[in-house]
């Protein structure tokens, strides 16, 4: 009986991990950081949640459009690593 319970627990864990993969998937969606809303930015870029996406929109509103991909690293909490892993998806 103990083996059946352990087997069931292992199966349940495997199923949870299989179905939770979407939460860790990487984006392949392009986004224009000069026109997109915060929700679209957050859904499109890796390592950019809603708070950082809102900061992108706020910076854009206060300073004008981004002129290149690397200028996004001027926003607090967004560093070069985040820019590098998203640069092929960021349009401006």
Q: What are the pLDDT digits (tens) for 23-75?
A: 444 556 999 999 999 999 999 999 999 999 999 999 999 999 999 998 998 99
Q: What Rg, from alpha-carbon coordinates, does the chain have?
A: 19
Token pair of 53, please? 């996406």
Global pTM reads: 0.70
48/54 Cα distance (integer angstroms): 10
DSSP secondary structure code for residue 87 in this structure: T
DSSP 3-state of 91: strand
Tokens 């986004």 sit on residue: 31
Could you tell me the pLDDT band of residue 89, with boundaries at 50, 70 and 90? very high
- Domain spanning 26-91, CATH architecture: Orthogonal Bundle (1.10)
């Amino acid at each position: 009986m103990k083996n059946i319970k352990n087997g069931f627990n292992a199966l349940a864990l495997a199923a949870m991990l299989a179905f939770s993969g979407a939460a860790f998937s990487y984006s392949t969606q392009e986004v224009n950081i000069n026109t997109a809303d915060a929700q679209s930015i957050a859904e499109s870029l890796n390592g950019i949640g809603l708070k950082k996406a809102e900061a992108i929109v706020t910076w854009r509103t206060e300073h004008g459009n981004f002129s290149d991909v690397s200028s996004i690293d001027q926003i607090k909490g967004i560093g070069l690593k985040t820019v590098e892993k998203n640069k092929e998806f960021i349009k401006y």
